[in-house]
Amino acid sequence: MTTALTTMSAKKPQAGVDLLRIVRINEQIKRVVGVSFKINIMALNAIFLAKRAGTAARGFGVLSNELRVFSQDLRTCMESLTGLIHACVNEVSVVLQDNRLANLFDRAAELAPQHPALLAVLQRRSVEDEKHALHLTKLRRQLKRALEDAFQMVELGGVLAKSAKIEAAYGQSFAASLAQVSGEFDGVVEEIRGSLESLRRSPFFAGN
């Protein structure tokens, strides 16, 4: 019984730390979603500018449209990440609630250290704790994989943005305007890339 109680107590600080880390990840994801909206607006403006520039900016227009599609795909990807984040929050919240119950069992164990009914309850709690731990581990892995997918998507977005910078040079009288827009694309995509790189290094994925 002492071992079971000790195990419960050891999980208390970890659950609180996990919740804090999840909240930080969620805030970072919200920022990425906000920036992806910015790319969509920028892409629409770039497409309009490319049309004004005519055939000289046809390649730039195609890339701008691809960047618009990229921003929409990225938003969808971030929404799936948000869903996983919410699932993680729910799971950790259950663990925190279990921890509060563990405090009650601690006090009960002091009054009846070898009570058969209490031993049975502790055994059931131990099984439930293990189930929650396994589920949270699964969610960690899913979230990490989804982040990797998002990162690969942003790498592609970076290639598109850099290609747009090259195409801007062929825009003749619109070259300077196109170069400015493509530079903004590149900067925003790099900002997202930096955010996702930071998320990939979150201690939450180490589970310690």
Q: How far is CA 122 from the centre of its chain?
A: 35
Instruction: Supply 119's token pair.
Output: 């031993």
Q: What's the CA gap between 68 and 54, in Å, rounded? A: 19
Q: What's the CA gap between 29 and 143, in Å, rounded? A: 12
4: confidence class by pLDDT, cuts 50, 70, 90: very low
Q: 2-205 — its CATH code?
A: 1.20.1270
Q: What's the CA gap between 90 and 81, in Å, rounded? A: 14
For residue range 40-93, what is the model confidence (pLDDT) as tens digits? 899 999 999 999 999 999 999 999 999 999 999 998 988 888 899 999 888 888
The full set of domain ranges for the chain reads 2-205
Q: What's the CA gap between 35 and 40, in Å, rounded? A: 9
For residue range 122-140, what is the model confidence (pLDDT) as tens digits? 777 777 777 877 888 898 8
In whole numbers, what is the pLDDT of the chain averaged over residues? Answer: 84
208: confidence class by pLDDT, cuts 50, 70, 90: low
Helix, strand or coil for residue 202?
coil
Q: What's the CA gap between 195 and 154, in Å, rounded? A: 11
Q: What's the CA gap between 168 and 161, in Å, rounded? A: 11
Q: What is the pLDDT of residue 7?
A: 47
User: Is the model's pLDDT at 198 over the cut of 60?
Assistant: yes
**Residue of higher predicted confidence among 9 and 50:** 50
